[in-house]
Amino acid sequence: MMEDRGFEPNIVAYNTVIDSLCKKGSLNEALHLFSQVKVKGIRPDIVTYSCLIHAMYDLGQQEEATRLLNEMVDNNISLNIFMYNILIDAHCKDGKIFEALDTVDTMKKQGIEPNLVTYNILVDAHCKEGKVSKAEDIVDTMIKHSIEPNVVTYNILVDAHCREGVVSEAEDIVDAMIKHNIEPNVVSYSALINGHCLQNKMDKARKVFQLMIKKGCSPDIFSYNIMINGYYKAKRIDEAMELFHEISQKGPNPDIVTYNTLMQCMCKLGRVSSACELLRKMIAFGQVPNVVTCSFLLNGLCKSDKLEEALELFQAMRNSKLELDTVCYNILIDGLCKSGYIEVGKELFHKLSVNGLKPSVYTFYND
């Protein structure tokens, strides 16, 4: 260390080490060094904070990043556009759009103009609040300031219109993208597919799905899950299974959402044996069931009067260290009591508190 040779490092030297640690993923070590800097009475500068906040943001530690941003403001260190965008994004994620807009005004007063990232954050926040027309006004503003929307901007608007049930407007936005030489990507197509699925227009959803493949855009598991869920809600289980077999053979690999959607569908249609077989395949392919998987299967087994199998599944899930919730207990207790196994249901009811769970009103009602 430089201290051992009689040299006292300055903030530039410390920044070099902190930046190196952050880039290596050693954030805790970087924060420890940051604390030492402050203890030594050396004042961190914007570079110090930028390194740490960037690392925190990449790791999804928005709260910690915001705390450091506030510390910067308290220490009268001027923020740059990157810092402001983190702060604006944090406000938006907390549902504080007015605070986010105030921050934009503060930023402008300091001579820093919003960039594409700033506008995309604001467009996304307004869409999530259901204020799509306001989001479109923001897009108009950015264009007036010579900032062209990118694929992210357009995708936010496409998704928002689809969720509001105005798929035709979403399709117009995709056309506008293409006119501006911005190629729709898997997110664009998936949003359109979802829009049609939400309106139970599965044939239209399928056409968009096939179009994306024709255009050389490979569907990801999210795209497939949207289609499978759409077929499930339309009670077209055979077509959902066709897609499942397709990805099982060619990829992308099915995830927990894929399996859970299919199991829920099978159980609702009374195909509980098929759902249990799918569970075995799921485990064989290395996908770990979660509490949602368990609740769907338990519900299906209980409604099919397969109480012994339901109890076996319940015990197997407990043995696998899966943390079962009150919903799973409720389903099984309800099934046991309705089938006349009152004492077994009561025994399970008393195990709730032993396992650190609190009975719900539904549990008491069934007990």
- Give the mean model confidence (pLDDT) for residues 10-22: 94
Mean pLDDT, residues 165-172: 96
The one-letter code for the residue type at 329 is: Y
CB 14 within 8 Å of CB 37 = yes
Residues of the chain with CATH 1.25.40.10: 1-78
pLDDT score at 4:
53
Alpha helices in 75-148 (DSSP H): 81-93, 97-109, 116-128, 132-144
**What is the third-level CATH fold of 1-78?**
1.25.40
Q: Would you state the pLDDT for residue 233?
A: 93
Whole-number pLDDT of residue 62: 79
Neighbours of 32 (CB within 10 A): 13
Amino acid at 249: Q
pLDDT at 254: 95
- Does position 366 have pLDDT exceeding 70, yes or no? no
The reported pLDDT for the residue numbered 363 is 44
From the list 205, 60, 191, 82, the residue with the least C-alpha distance to 127 is 191
Supply the pLDDT for residue 367: 45
Give the distance from CA 310 to its chain's centroid: 31
Strands (E), the chain: none
What is the rounded end-to-end Cα distance, in angstroms, of the chain?
68
Taking only the tens place, the pLDDT of each residue in 176-234 is 999 999 999 999 999 999 999 999 999 999 999 999 999 999 999 999 999 999 999 99
**What single string gives the DSSP state of each residue in 321-340?**
T----HHHHHHHHHHHHHTT
Residues 6+ apart with CB under 8 A from 197: 205, 226, 227, 229, 230, 233
Cα separations in angstroms, 158 against 55, 195, 331: 31, 9, 39
Q: Which two tokens stand for residue 290?
A: 């979660």
d(CA 141, CA 28): 41
With CA atoms as reference, report the closest residue to 25 among 56, 64, 47: 56
Residues 299-305 have a mean pLDDT of 93
Write out pLDDT tens, residues 260-299: 999 999 998 899 999 999 999 999 999 999 999 999 999 9
The pLDDT, as a whole number, for residue 78 is: 86
> In this structure, is the dihedral angle defined by the CA atoms of residues 85, 90, 93 and 95, taken in order, positive or negative?
negative
pLDDT at residue 364 above 80?
A: no
8 A C-beta contact, residue 72 and residue 49: yes
Of 56-70, 115-129, 288-302, minimum mean pLDDT range: 56-70
Measured CA to CA, the distance from residue 345 to residue 337 in angstroms comes to: 6
Residue pair 243/236 in contact (Cβ under 8 Å)? The answer is no
> Which of these ranges, 65-69, 205-209, 362-366, has the smallest mean pLDDT?
362-366
**pTM reported for the whole predicted model:** 0.83
How far apart are alpha carbons 347 and 342 in whole angstroms?
9
% of the chain surpassing 70 pLDDT: 94
